[in-house]
Amino acid sequence: MIWLLAVIGIPIAVVLMLFFSAADDFWQIITLKIDFSRLIDDLAHVLAIVIIGALVELYSLYMLFTHFL
């Protein structure tokens, strides 16, 4: 049961982390007040969150299938 909750909860947690980490940056992009180096740095953080989230999601799916099959 814990793996089923993990499979559902991990994408929600990743989206929430991305939203809260990038909320200020979205506003700076809209108002055109962001510099290029900060944009690249934030892109690296977003990619790291997405990659780590995808790896954790794949692991939890693997564990879900091995426990229920």
User: Can you give the pLDDT at residue 69?
Assistant: 75
Cβ-defined contacts of 42-47 (< 8 Å, 24+): 45/21, 46/18, 46/21, 46/22
59 contacts 12 by C-beta, under 8 angstroms:
no
Return the amino acid letter for 47. L
What pLDDT score was predicted for residue 27?
Answer: 75
Q: Is the pLDDT of residue 38 over 80?
A: no
Cβ–Cβ under 8 Å, residues 57 and 11:
yes
Q: Which of 49, 51, 63 is nearest to 13 (CA)?
A: 49
Banded model confidence at residue 58, pLDDT cuts 50, 70, 90: very high
For residue 51, the model assigns a pLDDT of 92
- Looking at residue 57, its amino acid is E
What digits encode the pLDDT tens for the residues 10-37? 899 988 888 887 777 777 777 877 777 7
